[in-house]
Amino acid sequence: MRIYLVQTARSGQTGVMFRLFFALPFLLANCATDETVSGYVEPSIIFQLAEMDGKPFTATATISFPEEGRISGRGPCNSFSANQSSPYPWFKTGPILATRQACGDLAQEIQFFEKLAQMTQIEVAGNVLILRGDAAGELVFQSSPSNARSGQPAAGAHVVVDCRPFGSPTGS
């Protein structure tokens, strides 16, 4: 998509207003962007579970946000997916759909899926993702440093426009 701004020949303030008038529909269109965590995280980033309730998670579990309103990942034994349509920073999964393969870490997987379903808030900062539940504790995930944003947008990164008014509960 290309955006063209029309500029009049040296008309001072009128030229600025003219450009703004034509740019306004494009700016307002961004207010309809994804407000779930998917809109704040690059879809290709995979976060690996590092801690559950302050203790190291010894098995392998991952989570990613491949598209608006969806989460997916892998537990110690099975892959999973679920709906997640709450606006950031809130988090609530729909039913977690998982494959049904047994393995030696099945008890840890059950614990991970139970905790994941109880999480109510999410925070993303660089390569760290934290899920919290009111009384359910905390899951801390990390992506590899090559996945984390280091001031430069990752290839294919998108811009998120926060359209909430100042003073709103989750705005600044």
pLDDT of res. 96: 95
Residues 87-139 have pLDDT tens digits of 999 999 999 999 999 999 999 999 999 999 999 999 999 899 999 998 879 99
pLDDT score at 145? 63
pLDDT of 7 over the 60 cut: no
Q: Is the pLDDT of residue 143 over 90?
A: yes
Q: What is the pTM of this model?
A: 0.67
Whole-angstrom distance, CA of residue 89 vs CA of residue 151: 21
Q: What pLDDT is recorded for position 35?
A: 85
| CA separation for the pair 21, 60 (Å, rounded) | 52
Average pLDDT over residues 8-35: 52
Mean pLDDT of the chain, nearest integer: 76
The DSSP code for 45 is -
Domains in the chain: boundaries: 37-142
User: How high is the pLDDT of residue 135?
Assistant: 84
pLDDT of residue 136: 79
Taking only the tens place, the pLDDT of each residue in 42-57 is 999 999 999 999 999 9
Cis peptide before 89 (omega within 30 of 0): yes
Q: Is the CATH number 2.40.128.270 carried by domain 37-142?
A: yes
Question: Rounded to whole angstroms, how far apart are CA atoms 79 and 95?
Answer: 14
Q: Which two tokens stand for residue 29?
A: 């269109």
